[in-house]
Structure formats: C-alpha cells, structure tokens
Amino acid sequence: MGLRKKTFLYSVALAVIMIAFVIGYFVLMLPSLYVDYVMNSNLESAAKIQKGYMEERSYDNLTVKNPSSVYTMEVPNTGDEVYIAGKFFKLTITIQDEELQNLLDCARMMMGEAESLEQLENMIDSQTADREDMSYGLKQKDFTNYFSEWQDRFKDIFAGQNLISEDAPITIKLDQKGQSGEQVYQGEYSKLHTMPGGIMVYEVGVSDGNYSYITYIAMGQMQDAFIITVLPTMTPQMEEITPIVMGSLPMIIAVIFLVVLISSGFFSGRIVNPIIRLANHAESAGLAEHFEPDEFAFLSDNKDEIGILGRNLHELYGKLRDNYEELERKNCLLEEENERQEVFLRASSHQLKTPITAALLLVEGMMNEVGKYKDTKTYLPEVKKQLLSMRKIVEDILYLNYHAENMQQEKTVVETVVQELAGEYAVQTEDKGLRVTITGSGVVYTDRKILKKIVDNLLSNAVSYTPKGQQITIEISNEAICIVNYGVMIDEKLLPSVLKPFVSSDGSGKGKGLGLYVAAYYSKLMGYELKITNIDNGVRANLSFIK
C-alpha cells in the first residue's frame, strides 16, 4: 500500500475517531450535563426569585422562567390574611375558619423562633408534648410526618366545602396585573395544526422579552363530549446550552489533542522509523569496509514507497558490493600486471645480457681466430645454443603480453597437445636417455595456445632437471594433467616460492627461473590450479582444470 493511500486511510480513521468521540459526547455525556446544569440553574433561580421578592415584595422587576407556574406565598406575622403573588396576579386569602387560624398561628410562632429546620423540628417536638390544645393529635416527632398530619387536616377542613359561599373556611381576592395598558407579551403568533385522528392543535407563542412560551391547545370531538387539552411550554434558550458546551471545551480539546497526538505518533512512527533505519544503514554502509546489503531485509515486507526505496537500496548496495569486489579483483590483476611488466624489464635488461655477451664473445673469437675458437665447427653450435636460449627468453616475455582478451576458448584434446610437445623434446630426451611415458586421455574446453604454453613450460622444466637415465610420466584426464620427473628433488626452503619469477632450483645458475612463473601465470589466467610438490624420489607438477 502506497504512502498516499496510507495517509488517506489514516486521515479517514482519525476523522472517524473524532466523529465517534463527538457523537458519544453529545449522546452520552451532554444530556446528563444538561440535566445537571438545568437543575443547578433552577436551584439558583429559586433562590434568586426568593431574594428578589424579599427585597421588592413584588414580581414587577423580577425575571421569571415560565411565570404562569411560579408564585410566592407571603404569610404576615399577624392577621388572618395570606398572600400568593405571581408575575401576573396576586391573591389575598382571608382565613375565616378558627381551626385554620390556630394552625397558622402555630406555624408563625415556630417559624419566627426557629433559625434552622433542625431547630424547627425540635420546637415541634416540644410543642406537641406541652400544648395538647394546639397539637391536633400530632404526636409524631418526625418532621415529615408532622407536616403530613397538617396536610391531612387541611383536607378534612376543605373537604366538601364551597369556597365561594359566605361560610367557606377562606375567602379569595384576585388582583390581576398588566391591565393598565403596559405591554406584557411581545412577538405573539398563532398556528393551527391538523393531526391524525381528527385532532386539531392550536399553537400560540409569546415572549416576555427574556423567554419564549408556547401553549398548545388540543381539541377533539367525541360522540358524547368535546375534549380540550392545554399544554403550556417554555422554549429552551441557546444561553442554557452554551455554558455546558463552554465548560466541556477543555475536556474536548484535551481528548482530541490526546487522540491526535497518539494516532499521529503511531502513524509517524510507522513511516519515520523505517526511514531512520534506512539512514542508519546507509551511514553504516559508508563506514563499513564490507557492508552486507542483506541488512535491508527488514523492508522486504513493506509494499509502500519506503519498501520500494529499501529494496532499491538493497539492489544498489548489492551492485556496489559486486563492483567493489570486481574492482578488488582488477586491482589484483593490475598488481600482477605490474609484476609482469617488472619481469619483462628485468628479463630484457639482465637475462638477455648474459647470452648475448656470450654469443658475441664466441663470434668475435671465431672471427679473429683466437686460440681454440679457430675451430668454428666446435663453437658455432655453442653460438646457436646461446641464440636459442635468447629466443626462449624472448618467447616467454612475449607470451606474457598475451592477455585474457585474446583467448579463444575451444574444445581441445589434451593428449594431442602433450604428444606434440613430447615430439618437440624427443632429441633432448634421447640425448639424456630419458623414458617418457604418456597415459590416459582427456578433452577440455580451453585456449589451445595457452594450454600448450603451460604444458610446454612444465615439460621443459621436467626435461631440463631430470637426471640422465631417469623417467618422466605424464597422466592425462578430463580433470587434470600430472607430470612427474624422477631422480630429482626441490629444496624444501625453495618450494613455496618456486612459482615466482627468477626463482630457479638449478644450482649452476644456468636456469632463468621464468618457466614455472609463466606456467603459473597462465594457469591463473585460465582459472586452473597449478601445484608443484615433492614426492618420493621425484617432483610432481599437477595442473587441475576444475575451476
């Protein structure tokens, strides 16, 4: 999955979490917070109305929610009147019943003396014990039960009474407010709704400047009656929900910040951590001598751009490692080439000097007929021998310039190459009485000229250093050529460096030390392995074709 898609999915997931949180908040928490706020607001409103009425003794300057259901009872300390005041009315209740008057006096006395509800309850207890004439059968010490008894007594007094008759327990006088032309309501409107079931609902809305009120009057006709239901309501204000939301903002902001922080940390970690590891691996690759690109394997499962980058870096460092190894190999070849050039210079400047000088001396002696050199038939072969020695050196040096780029791989019969070379050395082997035995056969895919040069140098070395009358054996197979010359051993101290240039086991100093070096050089060039070892009464040269 690409980083763009991952980022998009991360944004979607974060948006879903935020939406779920907001919905959960409004569904689960906001209603309870609103209920608590409304209850606290109603408590504060009750105390505020009470305090305002106690100061003004009127509702004229008070702001009241739902004034049709809020009223205050005022009980004077003396007299037989009780007042009930509201926003739009004031009732004066005159008590005519003697029993009710006694109850009212008892209540006045206790409320006037009590400073708290606990003290009032104690006073009730003492009065019910001392004043049987005022207890009205109240013997319970529980405060709630006390007023419950009063309530029952009121029911007995008013049961079956006609409150508008002259002998009613009380008389009521209504003083209506808002009749002097002042504007009590504003923004009045009305609507008529037709509901299913033949019900009509008349909607009337008004406002007192602070709150809006809607009254629904539902009407329906039945066979035996006309039914009317009145439902007054108060429209909630935006100011009621605003404090709740504002009070919840710190929590909402903290939760959103925490969710965003955690999710962003997780998401950025998924993206940044692989990049950091890539940077660390890249730095270690720059410092390490042999960096292993397999260290990027931790990104093999990533399918995004970072994974692609990691895999590309893996391939890049793999190629860099291969190039580094190839460069090292070429450096080794350059070192060998420098060594070969050094061999060429030393051979051309020193090794050729000796046979040339000898040949010149012989030719000059014969030309001047000095002493024994008058016998030209005897010393001309010596001149030829020196010239052949020089030719051998020149050929070896020239073959050192035969590079790998000139190789031509072909199917070569090894036995044929060995037989050709053995024929070339037939005169030397006959002169020394050497027995040459060739066994086996083999076919190898190689450069025929280079193979012949390698075997030539090995066979030449064997013929030159094998004592008279000894034996040379050559074993041939598809895997190797093994040449053993008997009757001679290489000094053990000289054996480890026998394949180096100008190292010769010839104690007389006639050997030039280039034969085995040339053979070893071309064996390595072809990828073969050449080993020179001592055996029991002989020296074995083993050329292995297996790479």
- Domain covering 186-236, topology: Nuclear Transport Factor 2; Chain: A, (3.10.450)
- Kindly indicate the confidence band of residue 531, based on its pLDDT and cuts at 50, 70 and 90: very high
The pLDDT of residue 404 is: 53
Dump pLDDT digits (tens) for 317-345. Answer: 778 778 888 888 888 878 877 776 676 66
Mean pLDDT of the 246-254 span: 81
The pLDDT of residue 132 is: 44
The contacts of residue 334 (CB under 8 Å, 6+ apart) are none
Lowest mean pLDDT, pick from 78-87, 360-369, 429-438: 360-369
Question: How far apart (Å, rounded) are the C-alpha atoms in residues 529 and 523?
Answer: 6
Q: How many CB atoms sit inside 10 A of residue 335's CB? A: 10
The pLDDT of residue 484 is: 94
Rounded mean pLDDT of the chain? 76
- Widest pairwise Cα distance in the chain: 191
Q: In residues, how long is the chain? A: 547
What sections of 400-514 are H helices per DSSP? 414-424, 426-432, 448-465
- Tokens linked to 399: 């073959």
Lowest mean pLDDT, pick from 32-36, 427-431, 455-459: 32-36
Torsion of CA 161, 165, 170, 176, to 10 degrees: 120
- Kindly indicate the confidence band of residue 300, based on its pLDDT and cuts at 50, 70 and 90: low
Dump pLDDT digits (tens) for 49-65. Answer: 888 888 888 888 887 77
The pLDDT of residue 181 is: 40
Whether 93 shows a pLDDT value over 80: the answer reads yes
Question: How far apart (Å, rounded) are the C-alpha atoms in residues 24 and 125?
Answer: 52
Mean pLDDT of the 10-21 span: 83
What's the CATH number for 403-547?
3.30.565.10
- Tokens linked to 168: 């009613």
| The one-letter amino acid at 221 | Q
The pLDDT of residue 385 is: 76
The pLDDT of residue 481 is: 94
With a pLDDT cut of 70, the percent of the chain lying above it is 70
Sign of CA dihedral 2, 4, 6, 12: negative
Dump pLDDT digits (tens) for 465-481. Answer: 899 999 999 999 999 99
Mean pLDDT of the 82-96 span: 84
Of 221, 222, 218, the C-alpha closest to 191 is 218
Locate the domains of the chain by residue range.
1-53+240-285, 67-176, 186-236, 403-547
Q: What is the DSSP-derived secondary structure letter of residue 236? A: P
- Tokens linked to 70: 């809020």
The pLDDT of residue 180 is: 43
| Most confidently predicted of 166-175, 236-245, 301-310, 416-425 | 416-425
| C-alpha to C-alpha distances, 523 to 64, 192, 459, 503, 544, nearest whole angstrom | 115, 115, 15, 18, 9
- Kindly indicate the confidence band of residue 7, based on its pLDDT and cuts at 50, 70 and 90: confident
Dump pLDDT digits (tens) for 121-143. Answer: 555 555 544 444 444 433 334 44
Question: How far apart (Å, rounded) are the C-alpha atoms in residues 386 and 41?
Answer: 130
Please state whether beta strands 409-413 and 71-74 pair in parallel, antiparallel, or not at all (unpaired). Answer: unpaired
Q: Which residue has the tokens 């209603």?
A: 31
Mean pLDDT of the 188-211 span: 83
Between vectors from CA 146 to CA 145 and to CA 150, what angle results, nearest 5°?
110
The pLDDT of residue 309 is: 72
The pLDDT of residue 474 is: 94
Question: How far apart (Å, rounded) are the C-alpha atoms in residues 72 and 49?
Answer: 9
The pLDDT of residue 241 is: 76
- Kindly indicate the confidence band of residue 118, based on its pLDDT and cuts at 50, 70 and 90: low
Question: How far apart (Å, rounded) are the C-alpha atoms in residues 417 and 401?
Answer: 22
Mean pLDDT of the 185-199 span: 81
Mean pLDDT of the 251-261 span: 82
| The one-letter amino acid at 162 | N
| C-alpha to C-alpha distances, 7 to 11, 13, 267, 272, nearest whole angstrom | 6, 10, 8, 13
The pLDDT of residue 541 is: 93
